[in-house]
Amino acid sequence: MAKTKHVAALALGAVAIGAGVYYASHHKPPAPSPAASTAPASPASGAAAQCDPSLWTHVYKPERLIAQPQGCISVTGTIADATADEKRHRKDGVRHEADGDTHGWLTLDQPYKTLLNAGNMTHQGGNLVFEIVCRFRVTQPDAEGVCEGYTSPIQVPPIGSHVRITGTYVQDTNHGKWMEIHPVSSIVLE
């Protein structure tokens, strides 16, 4: 009788484990909210980053961006010249994308270097990309609607400025699969 109870308990345990494995393999956790405030504003402060979720209505083709578990983050670093190797060098150091966004580079401070991936190292000079949505005139016809009636008030500080950038940490799947802050919610001088 004891052996039968032991076998029954083992069988019941195996069924429970199997059910748990099945559930875990068929039910993925929800994707992080682009507006989630999960990362500290700085390693020392512990204050939560604040993102503006309304900016997502102005992101061109948001499905190409994969929000990362960190969600809304604030990082510090130095504005680098993202146009230095471009045919058209720009004084502000950011590429003026056809969808109206900036394509800027931030040379991250040491505590944030782990946010970079191989795409950043290979295609972005080892910098984190940051995109301010609807900062410039839209020249791409299929992107005109996302910026209609909106121009970002966020200014890009001069190259060499030490700043704190807050926004949603994403991976851009359309290009070199690099990591970005997109959309940027704020840039402040440090």
- Average pLDDT value for the chain: 82
d(CA 155, CA 37): 23
**Helical spans, DSSP H, in 53-134:** 118-123
Q: Is 77 or 28 the better-scoring residue by pLDDT?
A: 77
Q: Which helix (H) or strand (E) holds 27?
A: none
Greater pLDDT, 36 or 52: 52
The pLDDT of 69-97, averaged and rounded, is: 95
User: pLDDT per residue over 112-139, tens digit each?
Assistant: 999 999 999 999 999 999 999 999 999 9
Contacts of 159 (CB under 8 A, 6+ apart): 79, 80, 81, 92, 93
Its CATH class, for the domain covering 53-189, is mainly beta
At residue 49, the pLDDT reads 84
Confidence (pLDDT) at 85: 86
In this structure, how many other beta carbons lie within 10 angstroms of the beta carbon of residue 66? 14
Res. 86 pLDDT band, cuts 50 70 90: confident
Residues 167 and 128: beta-carbon distance below 8 Å = no
**Over 80: is that where the pLDDT of 101 sits?**
yes
The pLDDT confidence band at residue 23, using thresholds 50, 70 and 90, is: very low
The pLDDT value recorded for residue 110 is 98
Mind listing the pLDDT tens digit for each residue in 148-181? 999 999 999 999 999 999 999 999 998 899 999 9
